[in-house]
Copies of this chain bind each other. A is one copy, B any other.
Amino acid sequence: ATHKLLLLPGDGIGTEVMAEVSRLIDWLNQAGVASFETEHGLVGGAAYDADKVAITDATMALAQASDAVIFGAVGGPKWDGVPYDARPEAGLLRLRKDLGLFANLRPAVCYPALADSSSLKRDVVEGLDIMIVRELTGGVYFGEPKTITDLGNGQKRAVDTQVYDTYEIERIGRVAFDLARKRRNKVTSMEKRNVMKTGVLWNEVITAVHDREYKDVQLEHQLADSGGMNLVKWPKQFDVIVTDNLFGDMLSDIAAMLTGSLGMLPSASLGEIDTKTGKRKSMYEPVHGSAPDIAGKGMANPVAMLASFGMALRYSLDMGALADKLDAAIAVVLAKGLRTADIKSEGTTVVSTSQMGEAIVAELQAL
């Protein structure tokens, strides 16, 4: 089967790390390991520069028609002054919303070789392997009204609205519980039910889904603020964390930083499974951003991007075995001491983005 991929490198280091995905795809096609058809599109600042929007309708159509979207990163100071609706992030948000990618999976894994690059003590993070499941198409990101009104007298009023319906919480809960069953069978749900009505409903619905369908999985509730504390204090207490769009944004970034492996962490964003075709829309992107400060220098770490492609192989393209091999190739390259600058340490060899990509593809060929 030929798989249709849409590659959206975006801005900053997005283009550099995506080049390594292209290198990998080229080799897979050439070697006959798999068959990919790729389209390319602009998103974020790059799309704005070309078309004055953060993503065009034509690119959205390509995304809808693809088996998986592979996304780099968007944004940068260059576009600080563009109109709100055309800011780089609007392209990412439109992809998430229009493709219905409600489930964002963000593994936070501490690679043994990198345990020392965490700001946390080695024993706190060594062996860490948690999965943050973030709701991605609801909450304060998309609720209306979302406005700034001029009140006169030099006063303005800004409003954002956080909205959650029962079904939105149910479906993300199921994703979390299903994942937990394949892991260490524990889900921690985080909200602020002591302050937010959406937190009250979140807590109620997650509990109901659990009691009805997932009695075998251990469920625990934490307030998002003390949950954040616990993440910093002793992250190994967690297996799967399920939380809303905004708390998920904060908590997954913190979890990623704990591991010392920010440049290493992939993510998957998944839609609902179509009951007729058994397929779901999906997008894969690194957890890190566009890093304008190091863009264009060949310094970026391509591992998060390549590992995101690996998640696409596993979750969307039914090539789990190849995904395992890719993960192994990454592990071997790290074990050999190759490092991009962000993860360098004593006794390792610092290489460029493309050298890292080349080395991983070479290892994969050898496996």
Contact = CB atoms under 8 A, between A and B. Distances in A.
Interface of A: 75, 84, 87, 89, 93, 119-121, 124, 140-141, 143, 146-148, 151, 154-167, 192, 194-198, 200-202, 224-226, 228-229, 232-234, 246-247, 249-250, 253-254, 256-258, 262, 289
A232 B120 CA distance: 8
Nearest to A139: B160
A258 B119 CA distance: 10
A158 B195 contact: no
A133 to B, nearest CB: 17
A38 to B, nearest CB: 28
Contacts of A163: 157-159
Nearest to A204: B156
Q: Which of A75, A195, A247 has the most CB of B within 10 A?
A: A195
A225 B249 contact: yes
Nearest to A245: B195
Contacts of A201: 148, 156, 158
A155 B164 CA distance: 10
B164 A157 contact: yes
Nearest to A154: B166
Contact of A229 (B161, B167, B196, B256): B256
Given A146-B197, A159-B163, A200-B84, A257 B229 contact: yes
The residue in A89, A151, A253 that gathers the most chain B C-beta atoms within 10 A of its C-beta is: A253
9 contacts: A87-B194, A119-B121, A155-B166, A156-B201, A158-B196, A161-B161, A225-B250, A229-B256, A232-B254
